[in-house]
Amino acid sequence: MLKEFREFALKGNVIDLAVGIIIGAAFNKVVQSLVNDIIMPPVGLLVGKMDFSSLFVNLSGKSYETLAEAKKASAATINYGLFINNLVDFTIMAFVVFLMVKQINRLRREEAPAPSTTRDCPFCLSAIPLAATRCSHCTSTVEPQKQG
């Protein structure tokens, strides 16, 4: 059983998956920093010097000035500002992944289709070899074609 596990763990797909998860986690930190430190401050400034992460709806009935105070008091809150930040994070991450996949697909070489070795009979439309002079299905006489 240990041998089977070792073979499974060392397969290329498992190692590729592990590398992808590690790079994804590091990439997530970069995107979070981009959103929180670069994008959201100007957006907050455009909408009235507002920090989205501090927006919340208090459900407890008591008044709290900040989300930190409400959390410290264990008050029930709906943190829609954090949701907005996470939505922006997701949108940026999805867009970057889209761009990466688009570039990878562009770089892939499309293989040329293999040259056809058959053609359709003009009488019965059955597939016949290019060099055939007679259709094997309807026995019609056809002109041979050169390959390639």
Residue 115 CA to chain centroid, in angstroms?
A: 34
For residues 31 and 57, the answer to whether their CB atoms sit within 8 Å is no
**Which pLDDT does position 120 carry in this prediction?**
92
pLDDT tens digits, one per residue of 58-106: 898 888 888 889 889 989 999 998 898 888 878 887 887 788 888 888 8
Q: Give the confidence band of 107 by pLDDT, cuts at 50, 70, 90.
A: confident
For residues 62 and 73, the answer to whether their CB atoms sit within 8 Å is yes
Higher pLDDT, 11 or 92: 92
d(Cα 113, Cα 125) in Å, to the nearest integer? 22
The percent of residues above 70 in pLDDT, for the chain, comes to 93
pTM confidence score: 0.51
**Which pLDDT does position 50 carry in this prediction?**
66
d(Cα 121, Cα 127) in Å, to the nearest integer? 6
